[in-house]
Structure 1
Amino acid sequence: MTNTTKPTIGLIGASGLLGSALLKALTTQHAKVIVLHRPSSKLPALDAETQTRPLDIGDSEAEVHKALEGIDVLINASSRTDPAVDAAFLSHLANLPKPLKAYIPSDFSLNFTPDEIRDVAFIQGKEALIARARELGIPTTTVHNGTFESFVLSPFTGIDIAAGTLTLYGDAEDRALPITSLAYLAAAVAEIAQLPTLKAEYTVVEYSATGREIAAAIESAGGKKVVIKSFTPEEAAAAKAAGGVEALSAAVRVKWGKGQWPEPGAYTPSAPKRDITKAVQDALDKSG
């Protein structure tokens, strides 16, 4: 793709964890990017070629249309705000004078089935917004990924490096957990946004590791014997009933234990891949 045919990419949420990684990937790839931000936001350092425009998701239709003028692909890396506000924003996108080539919403999660997210309101809300965007005729491209690497080696997935314990559901000891780092996902999304034609969905997985492989990596790096315990169905049900992060954590751990990981639209960016050994060593370095 030549410079004259590159799309203009709008990025919402550039000051967040994922958004800042996306901004870095887009600028590294020399994409034409416009950072869309709340007037009160503190923006990260920007290069001379990166434009900025004020935009609040709760703005009026006229304000949204003005901010998105000339933008071909819109990436939303912000967290959900309010269902009514988000729905109104989608209506504004559907009524743009010049339709978007693609809208990449703030989904960025595992490929859950409806049954797996039955008690996870956060993910259900995202899926409902995606369905609404498509109902409105917005050309929507979802990007899913493996479990975020920053969450894997933590209580979120039942792993306590300091204590040397893995508390796993079902067959997770021998089933592979797909994993994706923020940098790898950002590199993929930046590439996808610049493709001549975008698909309806992509999945970006960097590497995978079984519970047994994670335990071995921890033992090798830390010199401590790892004990594998059981996360029971009763504990999973209680965590889901608690809602919030606990429910999401339980959904991921149960999914891992059952080994159901479809990868529709698998996409591999031209970025170096990490592995579980590197991830464990980095986690130990940070904690130590």
Structure 2
Amino acid sequence: MSDTVQTVALVGATGDLGHRIAAALSRKGVVVQALIRVGTSGEKQARLRATGATPVEVDFGNAAALKTALTGAACVVSSLNGLEPTILGLQGRLLDAAVAAGVPRFIPSDFSLDFTRTRPGDNRNMDLRRAFMARIDASPIHATSILNGAFADLLTGEAPIVLPKIRRILYWGDADQALDFTAKDDVAAYTADAALDAAAPRFLRIAGDVVSARDLAITMQRLTGDPYKLFRAGGIGLLSAVITIARTLTPKTDTPFPVWQGMQYMRDMSSGRGKLASLDNDRYGTRAWTRAEDVLAPFAASNPEPRR
């Protein structure tokens, strides 16, 4: 990595992960140009400035304006979140502008399990990443995708795995299937390092912790002092059937994560198809990764009532 101060163009900085990446880049002394939509609220811009980033309003539909905004950047980092109009449309225009501006490197918004190993058609959001991968790999820019499994932050409620009210760990398939989790702050810090690494490979795979449902049950029992039991909801085949039913009942949605999409993600994790085969955790030196137990400890403390 170069000691020269570099400029990184960040898109999606008003989102949760993007905001964390902006802060992580700024802490490394990078000039962070946070490209935002024209008319973005003053409150959001102030939050970005507080990270050390510079908000830059740009018309994302104007190719010339977008090229100008990216000129001089050493890397473009995308943390965009959305469906086809965003991941393929907006991010595609961003890629075209980066190539036109001569930006040498691009980190797409691929923060996920290993979508390169999943089956086409099984997971809508992974299919979008796969489609963008084909597009960026056909371009002259040097791309690096960061794959991190699931966000460990989701273990505290958004992902229906740890069920404190009934002292259960819900799982599908095999209770000993290894699952990859990485905290958002760790993903952001690693992304900042990767953005400055001119020799970064096409894929970087990281996991703050690798645990099974059985491991989570043991952890929660240790943290709470109450017995935690495993609750097998069913096999992978049953999960697939539930996904089909859920998607049939809600066939059209403009949200990135409807219930059935979360189930698709869970299927890719529980089946092992999205498992990260090898990890690049130490590429930028040893760091203190956030473990599942670190995330669950305050969660366990806030749910002290034992099962009746």
* 1:217/1:247 CA distance change after superposition, 3 Å: same
What residue is the counterpart of 1:277 in the other structure? 293
Consecutive unaligned residues of structure 1, counting only runs of 5 or more, are none
* 1:115/1:47 CA distance change after superposition, 3 Å: closer
Q: Which moved more, 1:236-245 or 1:34-43?
A: 236-245
* 1:117/1:157 CA distance change after superposition, 3 Å: farther
Rounded Cα–Cα distance in structure 2 between residues aligned with 1:198 and 1:137: 15
What residue is the counterpart of 2:103 in the other structure? 100
What residue is the counterpart of 2:95 in the other structure? 90
1:160 matched to 2:163? The reply is yes
One-letter code aligned to 2:11: I
What residue is the counterpart of 1:134 in the other structure? 137
- CA RMSD, 1 decimal: 2.5
Say whether the 8 Å CA contact 2:80–2:91 is kept in structure 1: no
Say whether the 8 Å CA contact 1:10–1:35 is kept in structure 2: yes
Which digits, 9 at most, give the CA deviation of each residue in 1:66-107, with x for residues without a partner? 11121110001121361444434433333x1x4222111111
Consecutive unaligned residues of structure 2, counting only runs of 5 or more, are 248-256
Give the structure-2-normalised TM-score. 0.82
One-letter code aligned to 1:224: D
Which digits, 9 at most, give the CA deviation of each residue in 1:118-156, with x for residues without a partner? 232222112212211222333221111021111234363
Rounded Cα–Cα distance in structure 2 between residues aligned with 1:210 and 1:264: 17
One-letter code aligned to 1:274: T
One-letter code aligned to 1:262: L
What residue is the counterpart of 1:250 in the other structure? 263
Rounded Cα–Cα distance in structure 1 between residues aligned with 2:52 and 2:23: 13
What residue is the counterpart of 1:80 in the other structure? 82
* 1:103/1:237 CA distance change after superposition, 3 Å: same
Any idea what SS the aligned residue of 2:222 has? helix
Give the alignment of 1:93-242 within 5 angstroms. 93-94=98-99, 96=100, 98-113=101-116, 115-116=118-119, 118-154=121-157, 156-171=159-174, 173-232=175-234, 233-241=236-244, 242=246
What residue is the counterpart of 1:30 in the other structure? 29
Any idea what SS the aligned residue of 1:46 has? helix
* 1:91/1:272 CA distance change after superposition, 3 Å: same
Shift of 1:286: 5.2
Any idea what SS the aligned residue of 1:11 has? strand
What residue is the counterpart of 2:250 in the other structure? none
One-letter code aligned to 2:186: Y
Say whether the 8 Å CA contact 2:11–2:77 is kept in structure 1: yes
Give the structure-1-normalised TM-score. 0.87
Say whether the 8 Å CA contact 1:146–1:206 is kept in structure 2: no
What residue is the counterpart of 2:254 in the other structure? none
Say whether the 8 Å CA contact 2:71–2:103 is kept in structure 1: no
Shift of 1:210: 1.7
Rounded Cα–Cα distance in structure 1 between residues aligned with 2:48 and 2:135: 34
Shift of 1:158: 3.0
Rounded Cα–Cα distance in structure 2 between residues aligned with 1:239 and 1:99: 47
Shift of 1:114: 5.7
Say whether the 8 Å CA contact 2:10–2:78 is kept in structure 1: yes
Any idea what SS the aligned residue of 1:80 has? coil
Rounded Cα–Cα distance in structure 2 between residues aligned with 1:209 and 1:147: 12
